[in-house]
Chain A
Amino acid sequence: MGILEVKNVNKRFGGLQALGDVNLSVAENTVHAIIGPNGAGKSTLLNVLVGKLIPDTGSVMFDGQSVLGRKPYEINQMGISRVFQTPEIFGDLTVMENMMIACFAQRDGAFRMHAVGSMWSERDIVATAEDMLESMNLQDKRDMHSASMSRGDKRRLEIAMCLAQSPRLLLLDEPTAGMSRSDTNNTIDLLKKIKQDRDITIAIIEHDMHVVFSLAERITVLAQGTPLVEDTPEKIKGHPKVREAYLGESQVAA
C-alpha cells in the first residue's frame, strides 16, 4: 500500500474526458514523477488530490483515509501540500509575511483567534520563517513585496511555504517552469536535499526531462487522461509507447 492510492478516478468536463480510469499508487518516501503532453490531465489529477475538484467516480486514499469530500484546508491539514503550476502566493504581502502565514498555519491549525499580541512577538514563528527563507536563499528579499519578485523566486517562496508545513506528501506542479537553467539546477539540488533530510513523499509533474530523470524513482506517463505506463526511469526512457505518445523526438536525448 502506498501512502497515496488513486483508484479508478474519472473526471469529465462536458464532453472532454480529462481523467479516464486513473490508477496510481505512490509509495511512501519516494519521488514519483507524473509526465505527459500538454492537456494530458496532470494538473486535473492534482486538483482532485487536493480537493479542488471532485471526481465523477473513483477513490483517493491518503494514508488509509479518503480525501474525497473534504475541504482543501482539511486535506492540507492531513499532510498534503501543493505547489501550483502558476505560483500562488500572497502577492500583496511581503516575503516574510508569506512565510509566517505558513508557519502559523502549521502551528495553530485551520483557525485561531489570535488578535491581541503582535505577530512579530511570536518568536518561534519568526525564527522558523527566517530559517526557511535562508534555506531557500530568499533572506535578502525578506521585506520585499512578494508580487514584485521574479517567477523563479515566487516559486521558491511557494515551495518554502509548503515545506514549512512539514507535509508528508508534497505535490509539485512544474516547479521549474520559467526558471533559468541555474535556478533549475538549484531547485533539483534543493529537492534532493529535502528528500535526504526528512521523511517526505514527493509527487512531481514536470516537462523538463532533466529534472525528472535527476529526481524521480518512479514515473507515470499520462496521456489523454489515462496512465500509459508506470515504471522506473530507466525503463521509461526506452519504452516504445512512451516515445510514441510523449517523448517523441529530441527530448529523449536530454
Chain B
Amino acid sequence: MLGLKKHDLSLLIIVAILTMAAPFLLNPFPTESGMAQFNAGYPDLMQKFVIFGIFAIGFNILFGLTGYLSFGHAAFLGVGSYACVWMFKLLGYNVLPGILLSIVVSGLFALLIGVITLRRSGIYFSILTLAFAQMSFALAYSVLSNPKFNLTNGETGLQVYADDPQWFHSDRLPDLPHLFGLSMRATHRMELGAWEFQFNVGYYMCAVIMLLCFYLAIRIFRSPFGLMLRAVKSNQQRMNYTGLNSRPYTLAAFVISGMYAGLAGGLLSAVDPLAGAERMQWTASGEVVLMTILGGAGTLIGPVLGAGLIKYFENIFSKINESVLHGWFGFLPDGLEDFVITLVYPFVGKGWHLTLGVIFMLVVIFLPGGLVEGGQRIGRLFRGKKPSGAAKSATTEPAE
C-alpha cells in the first residue's frame, strides 16, 4: 500500500499513530502531581518536536544517505522562517502561501550554496557550508537590515506590524497565523480525571506535514535515487568509474534537504510569527547534526527520535531548578541532601547541555547507530536471537 513494503508501511503507521496520539502519550502525569513538570504534551513543545523532526528528516537525506556533513543547514531554516513572515506581512496571516514560499526560497538558496560547496567533499565541504551559514547569519543580523533596505529587521527579528500591507487580510480572519480561518493557537483542552490534554491546531497541522515528509523520505530511501545516494557515501570512486556522475546526485540531495529545512523554518514562523537571525546561527546547525547522530544517521526514524530527545531536554530538563531538587531529595538527611543536590545540580536547569553532552558521548561510543541501534538491541534481547532485518523495533519508543 502507498507504494511501501510491509515493514516500511508498519513503521509509517506506528509513527502516524504516535504523532496523532501525542497529546495523550506525552502527558502521562496528572496535572497536580509532582511529576507534571515532565509532561511534554503542551502545544509549544509538541510543535517543536514535529517541526525539528522535519528538519532532521531532511538533514538525514543528505547526511545519512550521502555522508556529506553540512554544518550550515540552519541557514535554510532561517531563510524559510523569513520567507514565511514576509508572506504574513504582504498577503496576510494565512500560513499556506508562507509555507509554500519558504520551501521554494530555501530550495533556490540551497541550489546556489550547493553548487559552490559540493565542489569539495569531507571536512572541506563541512567548513564551506559552515562559512556560508555564518555569512547568511551576518547578512540577516546586520547587513540586510538597514533603513533603506530592511529585509530581516536585524536583532529585533522580522515580525508583522500594523502598517504592513496584508493585502488579503480581512476583519473576519484571526489576527494571528491561521489556516483558512483556523487559528494556529486554537487549542481544545480536555479534562480527564486528574489529567488534562491539549489538542492544538498548529501542532496537528505540523504533525500531518511531518508525516507527509516522513512518507516522502521513506520513498526516497527506497528509490533508485536513494540507492545512488548511498553509493555516494560508500565509494565515490567506484561510482565515477561505473559511469555515474555523483555531483548532480549530491546536489539534488542537498537541495531536497535544504527544502525540508526551509519548510521547518516556515512552520516555526507559522506557529509563532517572529523570525530572528539566531535561527541561522552555527549552534542551530550543530543541533540538527546532533539530533541526526543521536537518533541514528541513515535510519528512517532515528532523526525524529533524536530531534524529540534534544527538544525534550532543552525544554524539560532546563526547567528543573534547585527548589525542585530540594523537593525530590527532601527525604534525605540534611547533609546528604545538600551533597546529592550539589552533585546533581550542574546537570539540570541551565546545565542541561551537560547532560545532553554526556548522553551524546555515551551514544556515539556505545551505540554508533544511535537510539535506533539501541532499540534494535533491546528488541533482539526480547525476541531471542531471531534473524535481524525485521522491523526496526525502536519505533516503540515514545514519539517525542
Contact = CB atoms under 8 A, between A and B. Distances in A.
Interface residues of A, number: 39
A122 B224 contact: yes
Given A73-B243, A76-B242, A165-B243, A90 B234 contact: yes
Contacts of A50: 241
B244 A111 contact: yes
A119 B234 contact: no
B223 A115 contact: yes
Given A76-B243, A101-B244, A90 B219 contact: no
Interface residues of B, number: 30
A104 B224 contact: yes
A69 interface: no
Interface stretch (A91-99, A212-220, A233-241): A91-99
Contact of B238 (A89, A119, A165): A89
Given A100-B227, A118-B223, A88 B243 contact: no
B321 interface: no
B234 A71 contact: no
B225 A90 contact: no
B231 A101 contact: yes
B10 interface: no
A105 interface: yes
B219 A101 contact: no
A119 B246 CA distance: 18
Nearest to A100: B227
B245 interface: yes
Contact of A119 (B226, B241, B248): B226
Nearest to A92: B234
A2 interface: no
A113 B242 CA distance: 17
A126 to B, nearest CB: 11
A15 interface: no
A93 B241 contact: no
Which 3 A-B residue pairings sit nearest by Cβ, starting from the closest? A76-B243, A115-B225, A110-B245
Interface of A: 50, 71-73, 76-77, 81-82, 84, 88-93, 97, 100-102, 104-106, 108-120, 122, 125, 161, 165
Given A81-B242, A88-B235, A93-B234, 4 more contacts: A91-B234, A97-B230, A105-B243, A111-B245
20 contacts: A73-B240, A73-B244, A76-B240, A81-B242, A88-B237, A100-B227, A101-B227, A101-B228, A101-B242, A104-B227, A105-B244, A106-B243, A108-B224, A111-B244, A111-B249, A114-B223, A116-B223, A117-B223, A119-B222, A119-B224
